[in-house]
Amino acid sequence: MNEAKLIQLPKILDERGNLSFIEKGSGIDFDFKRVYWIYDVPGGEVRGGHAFREQEEIIVALSGSFDVVLHDGITECRFSLNRSFIGLSVPRMYWRSMQNFSTNAVAMVLASTIYEEDDYITDFENYLQLKNKNA
Ligand code: TYD
């Protein structure tokens, strides 16, 4: 199974301001069908708290910082994102939440699927059962 990993995105340094981009290839091996972003998160709030059956995603802290907490069915790990040239690649079937948002944090998510409510697994015990069944 694929593992969650940090991806260094291209960074074009320029005195006028830096530029980064994401395109297919260069470590990103799925087609994006959707982009969404999370912003204006009140202090202490937690987003996510679910897994996706099919959706893969790349999460970038476009502004500010936040933590992405991932559980693979066995262990939990935490990625602190605070650079707009670093992407976190999250394969399907990871339980994930996003927390510790700083003021003005903007989380951009590139998703491999369009929005489908049925793709969500929102019960952690159900997630563990499905994960172990397919292990
Ligand atoms: P949700 O994915 O549950 O947010 P989070 O994982 O950050 O807690 O989505 C919150 C609401 O937004 C939910 O009612 C579905 C809706 N939504 C869309 O309509 N389209 C989308 O692309 C996303 C991500 C969410």
CA of 16 to the centre of ligand 1 (A): 35
CA of 117 to the centre of ligand 1 (A): 9
Record the tokens describing residue 93, joined without a space.
């079937």
Does residue 46's CB lie within 6 angstroms of at least one atom of ligand 1? no
> Residue 96: left if φ>0, alpha if ψ -120 to 50, beta else—which one?
beta
Instruction: Write out the CATH class of domain 5-134.
Output: mainly beta
Q: Which residues of 91-115 are buried (b: 16+ CB within 10 A; e: fewer)?
A: bbbbbbbbbbbeeebbbbbbbbbee
CA of 67 to the centre of ligand 1 (A): 18
Nearest to 18 by CA among 74, 107, 83: 83
d(CA 77, CA 62): 21
The pLDDT of residue 134: 66
pTM for this prediction: 0.95
Q: Which atom of ligand 1 is nearest to the CA of 38?
A: 7
Structure confidence by residue, pLDDT tens digits, 8-42: 999 999 999 999 999 987 777 788 999 999 999 99
